[in-house]
Chains A and B, each alone.
Chain A
């Protein structure tokens, strides 16, 4: 049955994209305890910056790098100039990120216009891959590869470096971390930049599949929320696993019960919130 094999590959591809999208969101949520509602807008900004970079003659790989760095810089500004002033006021911070996301999407509309702008798949990945009689878009498999690489790098960063240890300490108990001399303010800025960097990278890498269009921000934000809540806040492994779970549920759900696409997408999240508020791998209640 070709159907099952292709849908399985589709699930992995979507899962990889979802991980690129939500890993940054999960990092920020875990450490700062705020749902960064600009995340979708940062993802969209990444896609648009990649568009501009590619128009200037760069290839997708370089464009993605430029997009990631540019969006990381924007993230740093948001943290330093806005969220910093609201520290301690989580509700205010979430509302501020919501406001910023609206501003960002109108900014993109003014600069890049209202049309959907396609991002070209790199020429070497354009031809579909033919394997054992299956035909599958090559670039999607590349995306899965990128997601796995990003996942491994993030895992090593969190588990094997001093910065990772500080972040983990902050996630577990911020006050205690401060007491042992971790500079929370610097840590917040770094993590916010890193989260934004991942969003920008995701936007650029996902570009050939999603394209850049107004509304991409809100489409993506809800997906990131679902993944992070399912995986568990503060858990990188949880986010990784949840991305692929949602990838499978969504792909097979829409293929087998297309009328219930959204039910299938959101139901796991609702069930998790109701019965396991910490998510699959998390320790913090949503």
Chain B
């Protein structure tokens, strides 16, 4: 059996601590809790994936590698951002490394690829990926998601744009993938129900080489444009938007991955003043984050964003659940039940879950500002306890089709 170096070292450390603690009377902690991290360390998604690993690493380091009195052994698997590899790596983590619990994966299509396997193996998984139906119409009983569905934060921005910013006409644009479509659909629904009109919907391919041809067709009578982009596409769009002289013609607002901290650190003044919405900001002023964000910045030299915060928050959720079951990760049903019942303070604020395993938590409207020389997402408004169903009744919400390019239908296109 091949053991990689990292795993060996962690195993060795765990054994050492185990011995030490059994001497102190914690005999039960002899076997560590094995936590599998599904992340992406190679390829285009690697930036977020590496942050996921760093967030978790920092969480455990601060606690001496322990949760609920048990040593935590982390086994990191690189999915390469491919669904097929995500599945093989999950199988490897479960069958070879015998993990008790998983966290990750990063992308929605990876989560969908391992959905069936996780169900049959009954492995609790603290997801990061946003795919709506994983906690809705096809809710996986082994999933908890402490981050956000695709549209959870976009609902908030729809409300904010219509009621606070008083925008009347807006354009929505996002990558042509389920994530972008779901996000824009959620935005459109709430924005239009609060009196706004979406007059144009655009979905450039995920790997569009250039946004020039999309920018040239934007309807210039719109008040603002909502960006549902992921990764670096948001910032590429903003730059080209300015190059085409559009910056004075309409405002820009963005979804939870449009101007993430990981992207901001490579941007300049063009980002100043832009509003985005997310369940996290490195600027959050809660007792956990005021320690986490500076600690992360001190080690890695940049602010934690969506992905680093995701695994750090998952750390607190898992810690609380493990404590509730007395550190016994072997009983998967009990651990899963404890995960769903978790109600805990985290770096994003308080986290609890609905019956579908999705978080009910704060969502923040943020404005890009310059602070100590670097760009930050300063929080301008907090929407407390936002559910994935926004203010809708869950049953009615689920009776509708899942958000997509065509649902809800856009009736105000020009």
* Residue positions of A touching B, CB distance < 8 A: 3, 6-7, 10, 13-14, 17, 105-106, 109, 113-118, 121, 126, 128, 130, 135-137, 139-140, 209-211, 213-215, 219-220, 223, 250-252, 254-255, 258-259, 261-262
B266 within 8 A of A: yes
| B42 contacts across to A, CB distance below 8 A | 106, 109
Query: Is A128 a contact of B243 with CB atoms below 8 Å?
Result: yes
Count chain A CB atoms within 10 A of each CB in B48, B208, B267 and give the residue with the most. B208
Whether the Cβ atoms of B50 and A114 lie closer than 8 Å is yes
Quick check: A118 and B50 within 8 Å, CB to CB?
A: no
Residue B26 is within 8 A (CB to CB) of chain A in the complex: no
Interface residues of B in 218-247 (CB under 8 A from A): 231-232, 235-236, 239-240, 243-245
* Interface of chain A, main secondary structure: helix
Given known contacts A115-B266, A128-B243, A137-B244, is B236 in contact with A13 (CB within 8 Å)?
no
Q: Which residues of A contact B214 (CB under 8 A)?
A: 254-255, 258
Q: Which residue of B lies closest to A118 (CB)?
A: B266
- A215 / chain B contacts, CB cutoff of 8 Å: 43-44, 207
Q: Does B262 sit within 8 A of A, measured CB to CB?
A: yes
Contact A116 B235 (CB under 8 A): yes
- A to B contact number (C-beta, < 8 Å): 108
Contact: B245 with A135, CB < 8 Å? yes
- A210 pairs with B209, CB closer than 8 A: yes
How far apart are A32's CB and chain B's nearest CB, in angstroms? 26
Once A114-B50, A136-B244 are accepted as A-B contacts, the answer to whether A219 and B207 lie under 8 Å apart by CB is yes
Nearest-CB residue, chain B, relative to A125:
B243
A-B pairs with beta carbons under 8 Å apart, 23 shown: A3-B216, A13-B212, A14-B212, A14-B213, A17-B209, A109-B42, A114-B46, A115-B263, A115-B265, A116-B235, A118-B239, A118-B266, A118-B267, A128-B245, A136-B244, A139-B243, A211-B236, A213-B44, A213-B232, A250-B213, A254-B208, A254-B213, A261-B204
B202: Cβ under 8 A from any A Cβ: yes
Q: How far is the CA of A118 from the CA of B236 in the complex (A)?
A: 8
Asked if B203 lies at the interface with its beta carbon under 8 angstroms from chain A, I say yes
C-alpha gap A139/B210 in the complex (Å): 14
- Complex contacts, B231 vs chain A, CB 8 Å: 116
Cα–Cα, bound, A262→B177 (Å): 13
Contact A251 B212, CB 8 Å, known A109-B46, A116-B263, A136-B244: yes
Known: A14-B209, A115-B232, A115-B266. 8 other contacts (CB 8 A): A114-B44, A116-B236, A128-B245, A137-B244, A210-B209, A210-B236, A252-B213, A255-B216
In the bound assembly, the distance between CA atoms of A105 and B41 in angstroms comes to 12
B47 at the interface (CB under 8 A from A): yes
**Residue from the list B209, B216, B236 in contact with A7, Cβ < 8 A:** B216
B16 contacts partner chain A, Cβ-Cβ < 8 Å: no
Please measure, in the bound complex, the distance between the C-alpha atom of A25 and the C-alpha atom of B46, giving whole angstroms. 28
> Closest residue to A5 on the B side, CB-wise?
B216
Task: Say yes or no: A251 contacts B205, CB within 8 Å.
Answer: no
CA distance in complex: A214, B210 (Å): 16
Chain A nearest CB, measured from B406 CB (Å): 11
Q: Do residues B46 and A214 form an inter-chain contact, with CB atoms below 8 A?
A: yes
Check if B216 sits within 8 Å of A258, measured CB to CB: no
Q: Which residue of B lies closest to A140 (CB)?
A: B212
Least distance between A34 CB and chain B CB atoms (Å) = 24
